[in-house]
Structure 1
């Protein structure tokens, strides 16, 4: 093993390293493990639709900070799979909106349960305080990103208010 010099071992550099690893683990577990029904984009779009009223392609584009053509392609694939459907704007606007179908909601629920089981296996030997603390810190981190990007993400109602 070659000596590459001193390692910058600060809390910040350890955080950056661990966040790099968590993104690696997250992608690897959802791609390689059988049982997942949705690809990443469908999972994320359905998760967003679950948290709000139907959204237009422009609203989805803004929410994901993606070009509208990318969202249009992703939603088009989801329409073919009958995961979403186009509906009139409930507020009477001209643009049609997208909402999850029963098939899409069922697939999302199944994948959410599959993901929860995987995460549950990872933290199975953790005490409740550690799980709660990680959840709190992840929420704080995500909200900081959302604030910087000026792109808040809706969250489900909390039961522990």
Structure 2
């Protein structure tokens, strides 16, 4: 995979800087984005981050919506209007703004979580809780898929959460 994978936990230093994991920096360099594009996640108390690949995903979503629709305005506000482009220094560190840290509940440490075309930055305790919930839901989905495979005429899978 050529995207962001795995997860890493790093501390903020005394100046509030955090080192972006080397594998994530390598993806940003290949992507050719100057800096780090960040916006508050619309589904979690975390930050969505990336470069051109993330921006292409956002552009793709927005281009599928009518230019003057309420939906497009809402997504634009949430994904572009609240975004920030952070500088990354020569050592691969960035400074999260107070607004971003407050949204994600970040104080002394952060967990970087790869999502392929983007990565997220979490407060480590919140990420552990989210990971546990994700594992439980994936187990449930796997059971549903197994049951559906065994009974092809079964009703469609139920969706959970904000993306319904």
* TM bracket (short chain): under 0.3
Greater RCO structure (CA 8 Å; 6+ sep): 2
TM-score (norm 1): 0.27
Task: Look at both structures and tell me which one has the larger radius of gyration over its CA atoms.
Answer: 1
**TM-score (normalised: structure 2):** 0.27
Flag the structure with higher helix content.
1
More strand by share: 2
